């Protein structure tokens, strides 16, 4: 299939790259790694001014009404600049609201998200640490006007920055998402230590009351999880692209035995392997993005294939980047290590390659 961008998408990509190169330099990434919330409110407002928060939101709610495919273009550029913060989980919740939100919920939350005045995230994983719907065990206690939640969730992305956390729970044979304000009574957020500064947290819920109009019925979690998984892939594509560019530039400048190391065949082989993996990642990611945008029945399979490939391929690329740089690549002062450490998050978040290969095998009845 042709995954080439049309003229409007090329302009979107160029605008995103230009903005992020200016507003999200290496110094910003390093600063947010040490920041408690992990994002800059000032940059968040600037992103809102560009319309990115409302990219998929209909114009009647203050958005642009573009596609998930278009969102992936922006997220790829975000990965290229290692944009920190809750942009991806916020967009995952947008997709959830568009798919399953009531009119009341859409009118209440979508305009605020588009303006950048509210940040949303989700809480999915539990004690197993797995990313399968079968591992969602949290069951609410039903009351006359809503539910009460007791339990915990792990690896909640950007919980310290969120205004609202959508907690995924079981409801009969299906699921529900409950809108829980971060500051609600009975909510406790415990930050988890990560290797690259991502703000993941454990969410503890003790007698948290949620009103009926803040509950979202979800017959299936496939659409929600597909978008979450593929946005991680798109971020990895951008991350790997920049890692490759930094590495090639270094190979041109670093001189050994009287010539640039890029002139040596062993280095050229590694660079060729890097670009082969990168091109494969981009193709398989945008093929899946098109399937999601077009609501194709093959989306589940294509997303699982993309996540399996992107996880391992991105690991190979950043490993080659480190090896070509040698010892300097492992120093904190040098930028390549920022990409190496953040790759691991994208590889493991929402399931590693083994997890998704098993999903592919099940879908193909192998």
Q: What is the pLDDT of residues 257-283, one digit of tens each?
A: 999 999 999 999 999 999 999 999 999
Instruction: Identify the DSSP state of 221.
Output: S
Question: Same structural domain for residues 357 and 231?
Answer: yes
Instruction: Provide the edge-to-edge strand list for the sheet that holds 120-123.
Output: 120-123, 164-171, 174-181, 215-218
Number of domains in the chain: 3
> 1 pLDDT exceeds 70?
no
Question: Same structural domain for residues 200 and 165?
Answer: yes
The more confident residue out of 195 and 87 is: 87
Q: 278: Cβ–Cβ under 8 A, 6 or more apart, which residues? A: 237, 240, 241, 244, 313, 317
Query: Would residue 135 count as lying in a domain?
Result: yes
Question: Same structural domain for residues 73 and 190?
Answer: no
* Final residue of a structural domain among 161, 183, 218: 218
| Mean pLDDT (the chain, rounded) | 96
Question: Same structural domain for residues 197 and 229?
Answer: no
Q: Is 88 in contact with 231 (CB distance < 8 Å)?
A: yes
Query: Would residue 1 count as lying in a domain?
Result: no
Q: What is the CATH number of the domain that holds 73?
A: 1.10.540.10
Question: Same structural domain for residues 194 and 149?
Answer: yes
Question: Same structural domain for residues 43 and 162?
Answer: no
> What average pLDDT does range 340-347 have in this prediction?
97
> 341 pLDDT exceeds 80?
yes
3-state secondary structure 33-66: HHCCCCCCHHHHHHHHHHCCCCCCCCHHHCCCCC
Q: What is the CATH number of the domain that holds 162?
A: 2.40.110.10
> 185 pLDDT exceeds 90?
yes
Query: Would residue 23 count as lying in a domain?
Result: yes
> What average pLDDT does range 201-210 have in this prediction?
98
pLDDT of amino acid 291: 97
- Residues 278-323 pLDDT 10s: 999 999 999 999 999 999 999 999 999 999 999 999 999 999 999 9
Q: What percent of the chain has pLDDT over 90?
A: 95
Question: Same structural domain for residues 26 and 51?
Answer: yes
Question: Same structural domain for residues 170 and 113?
Answer: no
* Final residue of a structural domain among 71, 87, 118: 118
Number of H helices, E strands in the chain: 11, 10
The answer to which of 155-159, 217-221, 224-228 has the lowest mean pLDDT is: 217-221
Query: Would residue 91 count as lying in a domain?
Result: yes
Question: How sure is the predictor about 219, in pLDDT bands with cuts at 50, 70 and 90?
Answer: confident
Query: Would residue 2 count as lying in a domain?
Result: no
> 6 pLDDT exceeds 70?
yes
Q: Is 111 in contact with 117 (CB distance < 8 Å)?
A: no
Question: Same structural domain for residues 227 and 341?
Answer: yes
Question: Same structural domain for residues 44 and 100?
Answer: yes
> 2 pLDDT exceeds 90?
no
* Final residue of a structural domain among 83, 118, 153: 118
CA 279 to chain centre: 20
Question: Same structural domain for residues 187 and 239?
Answer: no
Instruction: Identify the DSSP state of 132.
Output: -
Q: Is 179 in contact with 210 (CB distance < 8 Å)?
A: yes
Which residues constitute the domain of residue 312?
222-363
Q: What is the CATH number of the domain that holds 302?
A: 1.20.140.10
CA-to-CA separations, 100 to 129, 215, 223, in angstroms, rounded: 25, 10, 10
- Residues 38-66 pLDDT 10s: 999 999 999 999 999 999 999 999 999 99
Task: Spell out a b/e string for 141-160, using b for 16 or more CB atoms within 10 Å of the CB, else e.
Answer: eeeeebbebebbbbbbbbbb
Question: Same structural domain for residues 213 and 112?
Answer: no
Main-chain dihedrals φ then ψ at residue 178, nearest 5 degrees: -110, 130
> What average pLDDT does range 142-152 have in this prediction?
96
């Amino acid at each position: 299939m042709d995954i080439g961008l049309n003229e409007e998408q090329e302009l979107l990509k160029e605008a995103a790259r230009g903005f992020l190169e200016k507003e999200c330099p290496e110094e910003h990434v390093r600063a947010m790694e040490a920041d408690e919330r992990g994002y800059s409110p000032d940059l968040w407002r600037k992103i809102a001014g560009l319309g990115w928060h409302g990219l998929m939101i209909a114009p009647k709610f203050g958005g642009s009404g573009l596609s998930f495919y278009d969102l992936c273009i922006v997220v790829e550029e975000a990965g290229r600049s290692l944009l920190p913060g809750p942009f991806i989980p916020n967009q995952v919740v947008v997709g959830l609201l568009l798919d399953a939100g009531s009119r009341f919920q859409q009118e209440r939350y979508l305009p605020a998200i588009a303006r950048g005045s509210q940040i949303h995230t989700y809480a999915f994983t539990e004690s197993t640490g797995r990313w399968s719907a079968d591992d969602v065990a949290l069951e609410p206690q039903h009351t006359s006007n809503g539910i009460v939640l007791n339990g915990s969730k792990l690896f909640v992305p950007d919980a310290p920055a969120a205004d609202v956390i959508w907690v995924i729970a079981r409801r009969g044979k299906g699921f529900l998402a409950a809108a829980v304000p971060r500051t609600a009574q009975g909510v406790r957020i415990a930050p988890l230590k990560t290797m690259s500064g991502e703000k993941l947290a454990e969410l503890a819920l003790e007698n948290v009351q949620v009103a009926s109009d803040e509950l979202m019925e979800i017959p299936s979690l496939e659409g929600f999880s597909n978008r979450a998984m593929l946005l991680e892939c798109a971020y990895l594509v951008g991350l790997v692209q920049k890692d490759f560019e930094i590495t090639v530039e270094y190979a041109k400048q670093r001189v050994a035995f009287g010539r640039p190391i890029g002139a040596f065949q062993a280095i050229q082989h590694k660079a060729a392997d890097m670009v082969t993996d990168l091109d494969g990642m981009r193709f398989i990611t945008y093929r899946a993005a098109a399937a999601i945008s077009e609501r194709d029945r093959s989306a589940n399979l294509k997303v699982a294939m993309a996540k399996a490939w992107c996880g391992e391929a991105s690991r190979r690329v950043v490993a080659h980047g480190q090896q070509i740089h040698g010892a300097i690549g492992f120093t904190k002062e040098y930028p390549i290590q920022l990409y190496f450490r953040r790759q691991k998050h994208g590889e493991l978040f929402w399931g590693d390659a083994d997890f998704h290969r098993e999903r592919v095998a099940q879908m193909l009845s192998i």
